[in-house]
Amino acid sequence: VTTKSMANGLQYVEVDTELCQARIFLQGAQIDQFQPKGQSPLLWVSAADDYQVGNGIRGGIPICWPWFGQSEIADFPQHGFARTRTWSLSSVNMQNQLAIITLSLPINHADKQYWPHDTQLKVVFELGTRLKVSLVNTNNADYPVQLTQALHTYFPTSDIHNTQVDGLAGSQYIEFGQGPFKQPHNQVAFTKETDRVYTNLQPQQIISTPEGNIIVNRDNSHSAVLWNPWIAKSQRLSRFNDNDYLSMLCLEAANVLDDKVLLQPGDSHTLITEIFWQDEVN
């Protein structure tokens, strides 16, 4: 595990162990590469991204915090501010073959306009043959604090037309401000722009792609976002090629809508996602 810098000053932690190869930027605490040894990459990143200071990376796992989507206040940034701030590297440990990397977000004076509350946010990456991400919020204030959040994970596929997500039975979703709709099948395929916030969702989804099945587990999360921008929105997105929608999808472990986090004074909440290839070799 080594810490390095790009020419523009962006710092990252590079992980190369017997089990995996990974890269985590201090900006946004954003992991943009994770590949178990002998397997395909588990995270997608756009070839159009040029890794600028101040921009979230278009891929990997942006951390949306302390709100997901648009803020109720008009000019506050979409998906919060944590994804573009520089986090502190708190610790790097090896436990057997597992690399465990913890970062925390210092709230600077300017960001108090967005988040005046005395809370602590850290993220723990456990990197082995699986990737486990734990986002830990602690409320040090003497009053309850409420927030929404998501681990905005970009997954790869070689063909979105041949990709589906299973494990949706029993859930509801809201899409483009409409709903809630009852999810009619256990699975969805992609044939158009998809931008759904699912609630009451089972803790495991399976993404089947031509490369194999990706298992996505969530803990302390009953909601998730499923997103593919499709043709028209791809042309409007920053740091995204027009045909990138063919090779990615986002399934985002979340705490949104009626699953938002309400932290009592002194309490902690840990949002967890764990992702891995179902077959050991693919």
Site residues, ligand BG6 (CB under 6 A): 78-79, 152, 195, 225, 227, 237, 250, 252
User: Whole-angstrom Cα distance, residue 191 to residue 193?
Assistant: 7
* Cα-trace Rg, the chain: 18
Nearer to ligand BG6, 23 or 79 (CB): 79
Nearer to ligand BG6, 78 or 158 (CB): 78
CB of 196 vs ligand BG6, minimal distance in Å: 8
Q: Diameter of the chain by CA atoms? A: 51
CB of 175 vs ligand BG6, minimal distance in Å: 9
Nearer to ligand BG6, 87 or 154 (CB): 154
Q: Which two tokens stand for residue 139?
A: 């409320």
Q: Which two tokens stand for residue 273?
A: 């996602």
Q: Which residues contact 113 (CB under 8 A, 6 or more apart)?
A: none
Burial bucket for residue 64 (CB in 10 Å: 0-12, 13-18, 19+) = buried
Nearer to ligand BG6, 173 or 227 (CB): 227
Instruction: Locate all alpha helices (DSSP H) within the chain, ordered by sequence.
Output: 230-236
Q: What torsion do the CA atoms of 199, 219, 244, 70 make, to the nearest 10 degrees?
A: 50
CB of 252 vs ligand BG6, minimal distance in Å: 6
Nearer to ligand BG6, 79 or 269 (CB): 79
Q: Phi/psi of residue 233, each to 5°?
A: -70, -30
Q: Determine the distance from the C-alpha atom of residue 10 to the mean position of all C-alpha atoms in its chain, rounded to a whole number.
A: 20
Residue labelled with tokens 């290839």: 277
CB of 38 vs ligand BG6, minimal distance in Å: 31
Nearer to ligand BG6, 62 or 128 (CB): 62
Nearer to ligand BG6, 130 or 196 (CB): 196
Q: Are 32 and 59 in contact (CB under 8 A)?
A: yes
Range list of β-strands (E), 109-163: 119-127, 131-139, 145-147, 149-151, 154-156
CB of 77 vs ligand BG6, minimal distance in Å: 8
CB of 141 vs ligand BG6, minimal distance in Å: 28
CB of 246 vs ligand BG6, minimal distance in Å: 17
Instruction: Find the distance separating the first CA and the last CA of the chain, reported in whole Å.
Output: 25
CB of 197 vs ligand BG6, minimal distance in Å: 7
Q: Which two tokens stand for residue 184?
A: 């009619």
Nearer to ligand BG6, 130 or 152 (CB): 152
